[in-house]
Amino acid sequence: MKKYSRLHYPTVLLFVQYIVVTVVMMILYDAGNRYNPNLGHFVLDQNYLSDLGRSVSFAGVDNPSFIYYSLTLGLVGVGILLFFMQIQNTMTHKGKYLISIAALASAVGYIGIAIYPVNLDIKTHVTFGRLAFFSFFITAVISHILLDKRTYKLANTLFYLLNILLFCYLLLMFFGPSSSQGVWALQIKTISQKTMVYSQILLCLGILHNTAIKTWV
């Protein structure tokens, strides 16, 4: 019979736990948003995912549950590293070692976002956020270039979708409107962020399934 590599299931778990934890936190969220600090619930088009990780609410109240978001995001960083390690193991080209370096940078970026809540140090938070997404994009592009496209046809298609989404999101991140420009800008940024993050996880899971290294036992 066949079985997945040892890293497969831990990687899936690390990705899926983020979706589950963030959805639960959205349901329980009561810390308001930028334009309505006293609002008692999460608004999909007015709250960033990082609002779940604020140590103090917009209204100035302590938010001890931020630790759960920090933990779940840090675990995603580990999952990203494991994901690309498995993709790399499907390749023979020497350039595959660049994947490890870029993936490590992305993992550090995600962990950095978790360590520095947006309300405590927004500049560092944003810097790590850009590092996370830009490094992930570079890693995904290199992985796509080196991927054996004949063997992994589905993964090839999913990498196309992933890289297009990442590129569009990076354009919005670097050149899009600031959320301080009004509710309309905040809505664009927050909806785009959630679409990108959850699509990124789901596409990675699809790629992982298609490229999973299997051994006979």
Please tell me the predicted confidence (pLDDT) of residue 2. 53
pLDDT band at 1 (very low <50, low <70, confident <90, very high): very low
pLDDT digits (tens, 9 = 90+) for 19-29: 999 999 999 99
| Spatial distance between the Cα atoms of 164 and 42, rounded to a whole number of angstroms | 28
pLDDT band at 3 (very low <50, low <70, confident <90, very high): low
Predicted confidence (pLDDT) at residue 120 exceeds the cutoff of 50: yes
Quote the mean pLDDT of the chain. 92
Tokens 């905040």 sit on residue: 186
Question: Are 115 and 36 in contact, with CB atoms under 8 Å apart?
Answer: no
Identify the CATH number of the domain in which residue 157 sits. 1.20.1070
- Retrieve residue 145's tokens: 């270039």
Count: domains in the chain: 1
Please tell me the predicted confidence (pLDDT) of residue 80. 96
pLDDT band at 215 (very low <50, low <70, confident <90, very high): very low
pLDDT digits (tens, 9 = 90+) for 59-106: 888 988 899 999 999 999 999 999 999 999 889 888 888 999 999 999
Predicted confidence (pLDDT) at residue 166 exceeds the cutoff of 80: yes
Please tell me the predicted confidence (pLDDT) of residue 95. 86
pLDDT band at 112 (very low <50, low <70, confident <90, very high): very high
What average pLDDT does the segment 129-139 reach?
95
Domain extent at residue 98? 2-216
pTM for this structure? 0.91
